[in-house]
Structure 1
Amino acid sequence: MTLIPVDEALERVLEGLAPLDHETVPLAEAAGRVLAAPLTARRTQPPFDASAMDGYAVRAADVAQAPAVLAVIGESAAGRRFAGKVGSGEAVRIFTGAPVPAGADTILIQENTERLEDGRITATAGVAAGRHIRRAGLDFRAGETVLEQGRVLDPAALSLAAAAGHAVLPVVRRPLVAIIATGDELVPPGGEPGPDQIVASNSCGIAALASLDGARVLDLGIVPDERQAIAAALRQALAAGSDIVVTLGGASVGDHDLVHQALDSEGARLSFWKIAMRPGKPMMYGRLEAARVLGLPGNPVSALVCAHLFLRPAIARLCSRLFTPDLRQAELAAPMEATGGRRDYVRATVTAGPRGLVATPFQIQDSSMLSTLAAANALIVREAGAPASEAGARCQVLMLR
């Protein structure tokens, strides 16, 4: 199969993907989820005329001419209103959030009063009618739409939903991403590798990326280089209801790269398995029953770069989120060679310079080196066939963090 361009590969990955069905979750579990239906208020907020300040509930006519002496006849506090009525020459001590008593039409703030010894106060300044009162329904009224479908439930949205009387919310279901690491050479983190083995690291990074983007993760562990074992893991992922199956390693065409064979044996329909990009050329994509399958390369940098470019947008589409790569313009801090026939994603650090952002590529770009990927905060994106660039030339960067 010929190499397909990155943009075409992404189009194929996203083709036909739509937001998943919805579920209802408690308010406390809805952070970061996407609202699956418009949310209407079940109550009015505030439910009564409330004071916006500490002071005294009075009649504006009684303090039109200051100073004015008023008799304090009671108190209204949050959660404990004054049950009587304010008459001529009277005042009720009131606190922020407390109901405004009947008869009062304004709030005299406490800074504009002086207390007298006999339970009366002196208003030292006048106040217009309606001042410092939050009218009932100022925020919203029962039956009004307070949050639209598709809203990401951030802290403000969750607080609004709670205030509107909702204890549970309808949200788009989180996709389930199954991860299958393959390779006889792998041992779990914390294990002791044999003479010819290494620690499996890809699963951790891919699981973290998927989880941070809103997916649930099913880690099916390390599967040996046996076609039947890989096929069994694929069936296990399908039985669990996985929306996306990610395989790690075995995506190339060597004698021991058996993921392709296992997918074929299970009836997968592969769309591509070679991309014109570096790192990450040997990436597969296809469908296996209702699930999408991403076969990521075994090299850890290649796997994570491919996950940023293809897995993250797929998860976002299933979650009903807008995914916009953080692409920016920068200035090269060092010269770069021509790219050849593939789009390059070069690990780099991006910092602020006197004329804008400055991108400094790492000198060694080996796709096995996690240390440089962890140190990088961006990838310099260079198109296939790009000529050599001098230091100071403009470039495009994909921010990672």
Structure 2
Amino acid sequence: MIAVSEALERILGNLTPTGAETVALSEAAGRVLARPLEARLTQPPTDVSAMDGYALRAEDAAVGARLRVVGASPAGHPFEGGVGPGEAVRIFTGGALPPGADAILLQEDATAEDGHVTPTEAPRRGRWIRRAGLDFSAGDTLLPAGRRLTARDIGLAAAANHPWLTVHRRPRVAILATGDEIVLPGEALPPGGIVSSNAHALAALIRAAGAEPLVLPIAGDDREAIAAAAGAAAGCDLIVTTGGASVGEHDLVQAALGPHGFSLDFWKIAIRPGKPLIWGGLRGTPLLGLPGNPVSAVVCAVVFLIPALRRLSGLAAGPVETRHGLLGRALEANDRRQDYIRATLSRDGEGRVVVTPFPMQDSSMLATLARAEALMIRTPHAPAAEAGTPVEFVELSSLGV
């Protein structure tokens, strides 16, 4: 068995980001920039007012002074003249600052009558003026390549005058569930059969990670059926299988795909749940073979598949983010495998995060997994731990899982 860290390093080291494509700005949220985003204009393009009031010269605006209002400058309709001695221009938020003006007199600090305005409080030079380029200037790099675009980023790109963005293509991921015993939800169960949950859980996880799942038909425990189903994954960026990853008589993934161009990098990882995990390639397409056990499949997908999808999407590669908290109940010493324990999250009286493992950790218990808020990580050979011990965990909601 190899360590989790080594397995992840080898997986990520064999993946490269997908190519670039151009999409409409309206379709770019959640996508990953393939090249830096540069401003195509200056924002604001000229000095503008940050408030409603009067544009004037600060030296003319002593309290009680009487200034002649010579025009108006609403947003989008600049005053065509300038501001001279003893003059003011009615201005509104976003309105262009007329030449000659160097201050904004707020409307609440003034009285206006008969085409004149009188300050009741003197304005400061430069106050309430947004200078040209305050936000950004043409040519500025606003967002780096490799950034997943948020709603805020889309707004920035629009303000920078980008109707189209160059992003990485969404990775296409084929999902192949194997096993004579599994059937689709809603189908009649044969004797000894179970409903297939892995493909559906993985498809949802893949979508949440910003990739496109392709769920292939279930392949029974037959070498030719597995090989034929895997062949339908042509054109995908990654193949994910579930089941058949171990060495039993019915664990046929490696045996079925070997004659069809499959090359093995490694299998068996020091992880619980999910020791039998395959990593290799099928005719040049990376292949990740997850265990058939439903909980093991999801846990291994969190640990290995999500980082792989991030790498393919053009994001920085590395383990999923972890947080720190306090153990909610005592645990026995760990063995040689890195353990991912399903747990709930709460806070103690001091506001600290408390991570409480479920009493039962059987890797077939999907209901427990669904109720879990975290995967608490225990390193190999970790000693027994009392409640209150610092622990590391993965928060599942942060991954959309």
Shared topology, TM-score over 0.5? yes
CA distance 1:55–1:20, shift in 2 (3 Å):
same
Displacement after TM superposition at 1:114 (Å): 1.0
Q: Which residue of 2 aligns with 1:82?
A: 79
Counterpart of 1:296, as a letter, is L
Judge which range, 280-289 or 388-397, deviates more: 388-397
Judge which range, 386-395 or 343-352, deviates more: 386-395
Of 344, 351, 362 in structure 2, the residue corresponding to residue 349 of structure 1 is 344
Q: Which residue of 2 aligns with 1:336?
A: 331
Displacement after TM superposition at 1:321 (Å): 1.7
Displacement after TM superposition at 1:393 (Å): 4.0
Instruction: Check the 8 A contact 1:330/1:395 in 2, yes or no.
Output: yes
Q: Which residue of 1 aligns with 2:34?
A: 36
Judge which range, 18-27 or 185-194, deviates more: 185-194
Q: 1:78-103 deviations in whole A, cap 9, x for unaligned?
A: 12222233333332211100112233
Instruction: Check the 8 A contact 1:278/1:343 in 2, yes or no.
Output: yes
Counterpart of 1:378, as a letter, is A
Judge which range, 182-191 or 26-35, deviates more: 182-191
- Structure 1 Cα separation of the partners of residues 267 and 367 of structure 2: 27
The two structures have a TM-score, normalised by structure 1, of 0.91
Instruction: Check the 8 A contact 1:39/1:147 in 2, yes or no.
Output: yes
Counterpart of 2:12, as a letter, is L
The two structures have a TM-score, normalised by structure 2, of 0.91
CA distance 1:33–1:94, shift in 2 (3 Å):
same
Q: Which residue of 2 aligns with 1:179?
A: 175
Within-5 A mapping of 1:195-206: 195-206=191-202
Displacement after TM superposition at 1:332 (Å): 3.1
Q: Which residue of 2 aligns with 1:46?
A: 44
Of 93, 101, 105 in structure 2, the residue corresponding to residue 104 of structure 1 is 101
Of 262, 270, 294 in structure 1, the residue corresponding to residue 288 of structure 2 is 294
- Structure 2 Cα separation of the partners of residues 394 and 102 of structure 1: 63
Instruction: Check the 8 A contact 1:302/1:367 in 2, yes or no.
Output: yes
Within-5 A mapping of 1:99-248: 99-116=96-113, 118-238=114-234, 241-248=235-242
- Structure 2 Cα separation of the partners of residues 393 and 136 of structure 1: 54
Q: Which residue of 1 aligns with 2:265?
A: 271
Instruction: Check the 8 A contact 1:251/1:258 in 2, yes or no.
Output: yes
- Structure 1 Cα separation of the partners of residues 132 and 353 of structure 2: 50
Q: Which residue of 1 aligns with 2:251?
A: 257
Instruction: Check the 8 A contact 1:55/1:107 in 2, yes or no.
Output: yes
CA distance 1:72–1:382, shift in 2 (3 Å):
same
- Structure 2 Cα separation of the partners of residues 259 and 274 of structure 1: 14
* 3-state SS in 1 of match to 2:218: strand
- Structure 1 Cα separation of the partners of residues 242 and 384 of structure 2: 33
Judge which range, 32-41 or 227-236, deviates more: 32-41
* 3-state SS in 2 of match to 1:171: strand
Instruction: Check the 8 A contact 1:250/1:256 in 2, yes or no.
Output: yes
CA distance 1:146–1:330, shift in 2 (3 Å):
closer
Name stretches of at least 5 consecutive residues in structure 1 with no aligned partner: none
- Structure 2 Cα separation of the partners of residues 363 and 314 of structure 1: 31
Counterpart of 2:370, as a letter, is A
Displacement after TM superposition at 1:174 (Å): 2.2
Displacement after TM superposition at 1:229 (Å): 1.9
Q: 1:6-65 deviations in whole A, cap 9, x for unaligned?
A: 2222222122323232221111222222222222222111112211110012222321x3
Displacement after TM superposition at 1:365 (Å): 1.4
Instruction: Check the 8 A contact 2:303/2:319 in 1, yes or no.
Output: no
Identity fraction in percent: 55
Give aligned pairs, total: 395
Displacement after TM superposition at 1:132 (Å): 1.6
- CA root-mean-square deviation: 2.1
Counterpart of 2:336, as a letter, is G
Q: 1:62-84 deviations in whole A, cap 9, x for unaligned?
A: 21x32112222322211222223
Displacement after TM superposition at 1:314 (Å): 1.1
Of 368, 373, 384 in structure 1, the residue corresponding to residue 364 of structure 2 is 368
Name stretches of at least 5 consecutive residues in structure 2 with no aligned partner: none
Instruction: Check the 8 A contact 2:8/2:319 in 1, yes or no.
Output: no
* 3-state SS in 1 of match to 2:127: coil
- Structure 2 Cα separation of the partners of residues 9 and 334 of structure 1: 30
* 3-state SS in 2 of match to 1:237: coil
Displacement after TM superposition at 1:231 (Å): 1.0
* 3-state SS in 2 of match to 1:308: helix
* 3-state SS in 2 of match to 1:32: coil
Instruction: Check the 8 A contact 1:243/1:290 in 2, yes or no.
Output: no
Q: Which residue of 2 aligns with 1:9?
A: 7
- Structure 1 Cα separation of the partners of residues 294 and 3 of structure 2: 21
CA distance 1:82–1:263, shift in 2 (3 Å):
same
* 3-state SS in 1 of match to 2:216: strand
Q: Which residue of 1 aligns with 2:299?
A: 305
Displacement after TM superposition at 1:154 (Å): 2.3
Q: 1:151-172 deviations in whole A, cap 9, x for unaligned?
A: 3322333222221111111122
CA distance 1:333–1:125, shift in 2 (3 Å):
closer
* 3-state SS in 2 of match to 1:348: strand
CA distance 1:98–1:190, shift in 2 (3 Å):
farther
